[in-house]
Amino acid sequence: MFDDSMSFVRLLAHSDMFSIEGVVAVTSWWLNSTTAPEALKTIVNKYETVRPNLQTHTDGEFPPASYLIPRIKSGPKTYGLFAIDALEAGGQISDGAKLLIDAVDSSQSRLYVQAWGGVNTLAEALWHVRKTRNAQDLTEFVSRVSVYTISDQDNSGQWIRTEFPNLRYIVSVHGWNQYNQASWLGIASTSPEGGPDPSLVSNEWLAEMIQIGPLGEEYPDVVYTMEGDTPTMLFNMQNGLNVPEHPEYGGWGGRYTPVTMGGQVFSNAADSVVGMDGNTYSSSQATIWRWREAYQNEFAARMQWTLRARGNASDSTHPPLVVVNGSCGVAPYEVEAQPGTSLTFDAAGTWNQDTKGTKGLEYSWIQYKDVTFSPSNKVGVWNVTVPDDSGGLRAIVDLPSFEESCIEVLNAGYRVCQVYHLVLEVKNIAGDIPMTRYKRIVIKMKSSSTS
């Protein structure tokens, strides 16, 4: 429960970035027959005391306790598939499963299920919908659910993936309880030595930066690991980097690719990242820890928000607004390009809320090469140049040749070309704690060698 409480404090401090439809206390391998919804309500009540301060720092809405507490329910108080056995014997679905079904039914957009423990509440919901609705309605229901679970923490996950193969399901698949193989461990991993920054996940750093104020008092010390469940929420944060509909794109919550081509189950992918010591490390955990400075500073800055309202006396940091070639907002900026040509990207219009201009902003243009799918055995070489006189605002991309970036599909009569990802990272360093936002640029190579 320790790291769940940590993650729940973080969720509340970032709750303006989500539309929280419900919170369900569940069982897991570690807590077989007990759920703790009252513990969640206690944290929400502490959050309510600082919510007025939080609300002054953003145009988004921090939901009040009066909204959240009625939406905290319990899943089945039994382990894994015993919940399904009970339904087969004539039992009723849990309040948590009812809440989940209602949330899917009441929304036209996809519901993202962030699973921090076992998933038998979801299993109950799916079982019930299949039992009570026709095939078309079941298909529609499943299509509007996306799951990101922190490994398999009970035996219902595999059942769900087998029974409902069209359900979008993100999970680190590994031997039972072999969590050192999981991507999500990158949230707080201190190894390999020289790779991630261990200072940002230490009890000392957390005491200074997070365990402050009424809400911070609910954040416990690290006992086993820090916030193992948090990657599920980082995955959905609207920061300009994350694209929840594309787990293969990567972001604060990690990067995952389909287990089978065209399949709906996504599992570990690896990134190659330069660590603190200057060496390159390749692992699935690196897909998360590569962003550690940004997501930890985001949390720390928001905990400062809880202490005081925004105003002239506040030196709190706020996220920058990022613009590329006139495109703003969190959606990727997509362009089609001819192989062998050059593209120019301009961040003019990017804005620092705190300085009312561009003062205090740092710009970094990142080639996210790991994302590129290669239909051949190599990825085309593309170069990014930032002109010295641009102040970091402009980047020129020289694209690879047609031969390097496209391949003829044998006996199919068409070509497949690579897609390149360039990420503009903008950091507001005007305050004591930096905050970072991004603009992802997706460059799709045309399959014709002529314009």
- pLDDT tens digits, one per residue of 7-28: 999 999 999 999 999 999 999 9
**Average pLDDT over all residues of the chain:** 95
Per-domain residue ranges of the chain: 2-289, 318-445
Three-state DSSP class for residue 333: strand
> What's the pLDDT at 412?
65
Q: Quick one: average pLDDT of 42-69?
A: 98
> What's the pLDDT at 451?
44
HSE-CB of 302 using CA atoms within 13 angstroms: 24
User: pLDDT confidence of 313, banded at 50, 70, 90?
Assistant: low
> What's the pLDDT at 108?
84
pLDDT of residue 299 exceeding 50? yes
Q: Tell me how far apart the alpha carbons of residues 151 and 229 are, in angstroms, rounded to a whole number.
A: 10
User: pLDDT confidence of 409, banded at 50, 70, 90?
Assistant: confident
Q: Quick one: average pLDDT of 355-380?
A: 86
User: pLDDT confidence of 85, banded at 50, 70, 90?
Assistant: very high
User: pLDDT confidence of 261, banded at 50, 70, 90?
Assistant: confident
Q: Tell me how far apart the alpha carbons of residues 194 and 188 are, in angstroms, rounded to a whole number.
A: 14
Cα separation values, 115 from 58, 79, 95, 448, Å? 27, 15, 16, 44
Cα separation values, 182 from 42, 50, 167, 432, Å? 31, 35, 21, 33
User: pLDDT confidence of 1, banded at 50, 70, 90?
Assistant: low
User: pLDDT confidence of 224, banded at 50, 70, 90?
Assistant: confident
> What's the pLDDT at 380?
74
Q: What CATH number is given for 318-445 in this structure?
A: 2.60.40.10
Strands 271-274 and 256-258: unpaired
Q: Tell me how far apart the alpha carbons of residues 392 and 346 are, in angstroms, rounded to a whole number.
A: 9
Q: Which fold has domain 2-289?
A: Inosine-uridine Nucleoside N-ribohydrolase; Chain A (3.90.245)
Q: Quick one: average pLDDT of 359-382?
A: 85
pLDDT of residue 212 exceeding 90? yes
Encode pLDDT of 115-135 as tens digits.
999 999 999 999 999 999 999
Pair of tokens at residue 263: 């399949």
Three-state DSSP class for residue 404: helix
> What's the pLDDT at 54?
98
Contact 422, 384 (CB under 8 A): yes
How many residues make up the chain in this entry? 451
- β-pair partners for 395: 345
Query: Left, alpha or beta for 49 (phi > 0: left; psi -120 to 50: alpha)?
Result: alpha
**In the sheet that 265-268 helps form, which strands lie side by side, from edge to edge?**
111-115, 145-149, 168-170, 265-268, 256-258
> What's the pLDDT at 11?
99
Place of tokens 């330069």: 274
Hey, do 2-289 and 318-445 end up sharing a CATH topology, with the first three levels equal? no
Please name the residues in contact with 38: beta carbons below 8 A apart, sequence gap of 6 or more. none
In this structure, which amino acid lies at residue 446? Answer: K
Three-state DSSP class for residue 174: coil
End-to-end CA distance of the chain: 58
> What's the pLDDT at 414?
74
Pair of tokens at residue 441: 């640029």
Q: Tell which residue, 365, 335, 331, has the closest CA to residue 347.
A: 365
Contact 182, 172 (CB under 8 A): yes
pLDDT of residue 450 exceeding 90? no
